[in-house]
Amino acid sequence: MSEHAMTYTRHARYARPAQVDGDPGLAFVVGGRLVGALGFTFTDDKIMEMEGIFDPERLRRVVPEGAAG
């Protein structure tokens, strides 16, 4: 497995379904705090691209599943 893939594997236990820029994605929630997200680009219902999001301004627009808001 590539080192890049291993980065995400280590954080999988913190992943929660989320809305990222209005589309399905993943939020990484550690100790109740949103620390990152993955946004997906879809084509024909398939994930074509993934984007890691760690910028605090963009994270404000990530809505983890079950979050009040």
Contact, 38 vs 52, CB < 8 A?
yes
pTM above 0.85, yes or no: no
* Whole-Å CA distances, 66 to 16, 17, 24, 33, 37: 9, 9, 14, 14, 15
DSSP 33: E
What phi and psi, each to the nearest 5 degrees, are found at residue 66? 85, -5
Residue 68 has pLDDT above 70, yes or no: no
Average pLDDT of the chain?
86
Confidence (pLDDT) at 12: 82
Residue 30 has pLDDT above 80, yes or no: yes
Number of residues that make up the chain: 69
